[in-house]
Amino acid sequence: MSDEKFDILLDASRPAEPLPDGIPVLDLPPGHRVDDAADALESLFLTDRTLEDVVLCVGGRIVGITTRAYLTGLGSPVLRSVGDGDGATLPGESLRYEILRYRCPSCDVRLNRVHVDTRSAPRCPNGHGDLELQR
C-alpha cells in the first residue's frame, strides 16, 4: 500500500524527518482512506483553534506533516469558513468525526484519534505507559 494518495493532504514544505519536538499527532486507524483523513483533519483543526500543524499517521505509521495554513489554502470549505473570522459558530454537528485527545502525564506527547478507532489505548512513544484521554 502506497502513501502517495495522502500526499494531497501533506504540506510538502514541512518534512517529517526529523520529526519536530512536541508536535501533536493525528493517529488514524489502519486502512483509513484519504477522504476520511481529510474529514478527520478538518474536525481536529476545527475543534482545536490553537493547533497549527500536526503529524498525520495511519495505523501508527507516519505519512507526513500537514498544517492549518496548507489545508486552508487547499480550499477546505469548512476550514475556510472558520478562517473568515466573522464569529461564525463551529459547525459541530456536521463533523463526521469526534476527536479523542490523548496526552502523556509525564512528557509533552499529544496524540489524537477519531472516535471510531477500535484499537487499544495509545501508549507514550517515550516509554511512559498509556496516554491519558483528555476530557
**Residue 129 in the binding site for Zn ion (CB under 5 A):** no
Nearest to 104 by CA among 84, 85, 89, 122: 122
Residue 124 binds to Zn ion (criterion: CB under 5 A): yes
Does position 130 interact with Zn ion (CB under 5 A)? The reply is no
Facing residues of 56 across strands?
A: 26, 64
The CA distance from 16 to 54, in Å, is 10
Query: In this chain, which stretch among 25-33, 44-52, 93-101, 103-111 interacts with Zn ion, using CB under 5 A?
Result: 103-111
Give how far Cα 23 sits from Cα of 45, 60, 99, 111, Å. 14, 15, 17, 9
71 to 90, contacts with Zn ion by CB under 5 A?
none
| Residue 13 Cβ vs Zn ion, minimum distance, rounded to whole Å | 28
Q: CA quadruple 88, 89, 90, 92: dihedral positive or negative?
A: negative
Q: Does 46 bind Zn ion (CB under 5 A)?
A: no
Does position 107 bind Zn ion by CB under 5 A? yes
96 interacts with Zn ion by CB under 5 A: no
Chain positions contacting Zn ion, by CB under 5 A: 104, 106-107, 109, 124, 126, 128
